[in-house]
Chain A
Amino acid sequence: MQVAVNPSDELPIYRQIMRQVVEGIAGGGLKPGEKLPSHRDLSEQIVVAPLTVKKAYDELEALGFIETQRGRGTYVCAALPKVDRDGQMERLRQDARKLLSQAYLAGLRLPEIVELVRSANRELTKKEEA
């Protein structure tokens, strides 16, 4: 698993770790049932306090993305959490509007915005294979 943190990001470090694990799962780079490094190993790998990584893992576990099997390690859940599809659609529609208004203000046209989404998708789905 590739995780990179940036202390000058606007998100706190545990949130950056959470985001990257969720992106890995969404993009298919992290498969259901796959084992994650222990929070101590990841903490040394990315040079971040162990409690910060543990906090990210705990929150991901509470959200149903990963599970800790005592004495064995931490795994991506075999069955990922069911999302409230209608509520999520509404949130995504709002996010899409925000993206569109920013892109139009930057002078982009719709086909360029669609290409932007495609290229972001390519990054998300192939990042983990590289």
Chain B
Amino acid sequence: MTPVLEFLNVSRSFKKGTPVLDGVSFSVGEGEVVGLLGRNGAGKTTLIHIAMGLLSPHGGAVRVFGVSPLDDPVSVKRRVGFVSEEQVLPPRSTVAELIAFHRYLFERWDDALERQLMDRFGLSGRDRILRLSKGQARQVALLCAVCHRPELLLLDEPAGGLDPVARREFLETSIQLLNREGTAILFSSHHMSDVERIGGRVVLLDQGKVRIDRDLDRLREDICVAMIPRASAPDPAALERLPGCLRVRPVFDDWHVVFEGDPGNGIRCVRVPLEELFIELVGGER
């Protein structure tokens, strides 16, 4: 089965010599949900822009439904929906005008889904975009991104800057879409609790490379964190040599050691929520 989206050894830099993406490879299967995590500057937005064909990779290739989004931009965009935190909607047009424009662009437009989302979000077609709250504007963007029933949704920080209620509504709508359409989703987010809810697989980018690519539940069950006093283990290299050790990081008087599987050796290793795991894997030294 051809993956819906495939990154093959993708590299890209903006300044010479400092790659934002450095050999990124992973794929998203049909109906799969993949959460793209990483610190600010890790390359998440660049990667999503490359998938949309808004940027070209300097090395490697990207395939959307098996074709390059640069070679065949129209056919690819017809089957993809895109929402981003930075998306700018035309401020002076009304919601109805913006939707009419999208309906005109896409042959396949689901009027029933459009009406249903308008009701659900409590939007009025007469409202001007500039009068909408940030949350409402993002809801309009989501509506425009899904009513042509895309097979792949690319969401770049879709809930960034939204209040908890608006974020939850966004999440509820995404989950209903998953239930009804089985759309494949690649989404970047800093909200680990949202990532846990929407589930699926997690890809963690760190300094332009894929650090972790794993099923969320397996990640939560397989990886654990041990705190070892630095006084009792003066040599971090010895810890790094322990089987399954993924990272050693000094935090005040302790080493925080991330293990894959049970480290044995009488080391107490605890399972932690995704947010803690994220910090342990990519957080700085203290």
Q: Which residues of A contact B (CB under 8 A)?
A: 5, 7-15, 40, 43-44, 47-52, 55
Contact = CB atoms under 8 A, between A and B. Distances in A.
A51 B199 contact: yes
B192 A7 contact: yes
A12 B217 contact: yes
A31 B193 CA distance: 32
Interface residues of B, number: 25
Contacts of A7: 192-193, 196-197, 273-274
B35 to A, nearest CB: 10
A32 B221 CA distance: 30
28 contacts: A5-B197, A7-B196, A8-B193, A8-B273, A8-B275, A10-B271, A11-B271, A12-B217, A12-B221, A13-B197, A13-B217, A43-B178, A44-B172, A44-B176, A44-B179, A47-B171, A47-B172, A48-B175, A48-B197, A48-B198, A48-B199, A49-B197, A49-B198, A49-B200, A50-B175, A50-B179, A52-B199, A55-B217
Nearest to B176: A44
A11 B270 CA distance: 11
Nearest to A52: B199
B33 interface: yes
Given A7-B192, A49-B200, A12 B220 contact: yes
Interface string B190-211: 0011001111100000000000
Interface in B167-196: 168, 171-172, 175-176, 178-179, 192-193, 196
Most buried by A among B198, B199, B271: B199
Q: Can you list the 8 inter-chain pairs with the closest CB atoms, starting with the nearest?
A: A49-B199, A7-B193, A7-B196, A12-B220, A52-B199, A12-B217, A8-B273, A40-B179
A44 B175 contact: yes
Residue picked from B33, B272, B273, B275, most chain A C-beta under 10 Å: B273
A62 B101 CA distance: 50
B175 A49 contact: yes
Nearest to B174: A49
Given A43-B175, A49-B198, 19 more contacts: A5-B197, A7-B192, A7-B273, A8-B273, A9-B273, A10-B270, A10-B271, A11-B271, A12-B220, A13-B199, A44-B172, A44-B176, A47-B171, A47-B175, A48-B198, A49-B175, A49-B197, A50-B178, A55-B217
A44 B217 CA distance: 19
B246 interface: no
B168 to A, nearest CB: 7
A13 B271 CA distance: 13
Contacts of A51: 33, 199-200
Contacts of A12: 196, 216-217, 220-221
B196 A43 contact: no
A44 B216 CA distance: 19
Interface string B241-285: 000000000000000000000000000001111110000000000
Given A49-B33, A55-B217, A13 B196 contact: yes
Nearest to A13: B196
B200 A47 contact: no
Contacts of A52: 199, 217
Interface in B149-178: 168, 171-172, 175-176, 178
Nearest to B274: A7
Contacts of A13: 196-197, 199, 217
A83 B87 CA distance: 56
A15 B216 CA distance: 12
Contacts of B274: 7
B36 to A, nearest CB: 16
Nearest to B191: A7
| B179, B193, B270: most-surrounded residue (chain A CB, <10 A) | B179
